[in-house]
């Protein structure tokens, strides 16, 4: 029997599903304001605009608080 998801992951999934319908109008507004690149909209939905080359993938993520 599969184990249950941790409560935080289950809550994250539920909240993400509830918030998803808000993404389209938000991105449309940002497009109108010139804050989004129309050619890269797919990337906002997790669809890459460039095919990944073969081989191992190393993912590096950086975050900034804007200081």
Contact partners, residue 49, CB within 8 Å, separation at least 6: 39, 40, 42, 43
Among the listed residues 36, 43, 51, 67, the single catalytic one is 67
Residue count of the chain? 67
Active site residue 39: no
Q: CB 10: neighbour CB atoms within 10 A?
A: 11
Active site residues: 67
């Amino acid at each position: 029997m599969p184990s249950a998801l941790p409560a935080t992951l289950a809550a994250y999934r539920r909240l993400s599903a509830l918030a998803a319908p808000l993404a389209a109008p938000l991105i449309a507004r940002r497009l109108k304001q010139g804050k989004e690149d129309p050619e890269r909209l797919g990337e906002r939905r997790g669809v890459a605009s460039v095919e990944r080359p073969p081989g191992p993938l190393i993912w590096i993520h950086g975050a900034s608080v804007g200081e």
